[in-house]
Amino acid sequence: VFTAPIYFLSRLTLAIINAALLALITTFCFYPIVGFPVTPFPGKFIKWWSFQFLFLTSILMFGYAIGMAAPSAIAANKAIGAIAIPWLLTAGVFPPNADLRPTTSWLHYPNLFSWASKIGLTIAFKGKNQKSIAVLRDDLKFHLGNLDAYFMALTICLSVILLLGLLITFKVLARGDRSAGERGPPKGAEIQIAEPVSHIKFNHEEEGSHSPSSATKQDAQGLLNPLLG
């Protein structure tokens, strides 16, 4: 049993380690695919890894916050899907921000995918020729902006998620029926355990019935597999 700050810090530490390793793997995969220069090293490697690290840490801690607040794992999965789908649709890539309706265009501001895509596109197209930038501008209707401002926006999103996760952790663990790391029903709840099949007694008093041992075996097989017998 841990206190709320210790439990939150342990989950944050685990998320940071996972995000750092995943960001390193994805950077090694995407770096040659995007066609970033190998020399001089590190070139854009550090920037690409940094934005992947911030984005993955935000996603992992967002999932943690939803999981702590939701009453069950099924409810948490539904909540994450209900939030992630609008995020993806309003990230500003498909469709572009300029094509979003005024009633939904504001959704790309509190959006992890929006800032991550802006950072990725800016890193990838910064310093490219005008033809490449024209494709980005005409097709995606995206204009290269301030990379530092995009990093700051993603960092702010991560800070908000961490604050919400900490508050949710305090609120959930403040309930008397829960403690950090505990799973299952609340304390004091009555648990009913079904009687195992091996303890079921069979009555074979009718005439013409099989022997008790064979009948018991057949009946038990019928209970375990309704397709038998």
**Residue 28, pLDDT above cutoff 70:** yes
- Residues 127-184 pLDDT 10s: 777 777 787 777 777 777 889 999 999 999 999 999 999 999 999 988 755 545 455 5
Res 66: pLDDT: 94
- Residues 194-207 pLDDT 10s: 565 555 555 555 55
Mean pLDDT of 35-55: 80
**Residue 79, pLDDT above cutoff 90:** yes
3-class DSSP string for the chain: CCCHHHHHHHHHHHHHHHHHHHHHHHHHHHHHHHCCCCCCCCCCHHHHHHHHHHHHHHHHHHHHHHHHHCCCHHHHHHHHHHHHHHHHHCCCCCCCHHHCCCCCHHHHCCCHHHHHHHHHHHHHHCCCCHHHHHHHHHHCCCCCCCHHHHHHHHHHHHHHHHHHHHHHHHHHHCCCCCCCCCCCCCCCCCCCCCCCHHHCCCCCCCCCCCCHHHHHHHHHHHHHCCCCC
Does the pTM surpass 0.75? The reply is no
**Residue 120, pLDDT above cutoff 90:** no
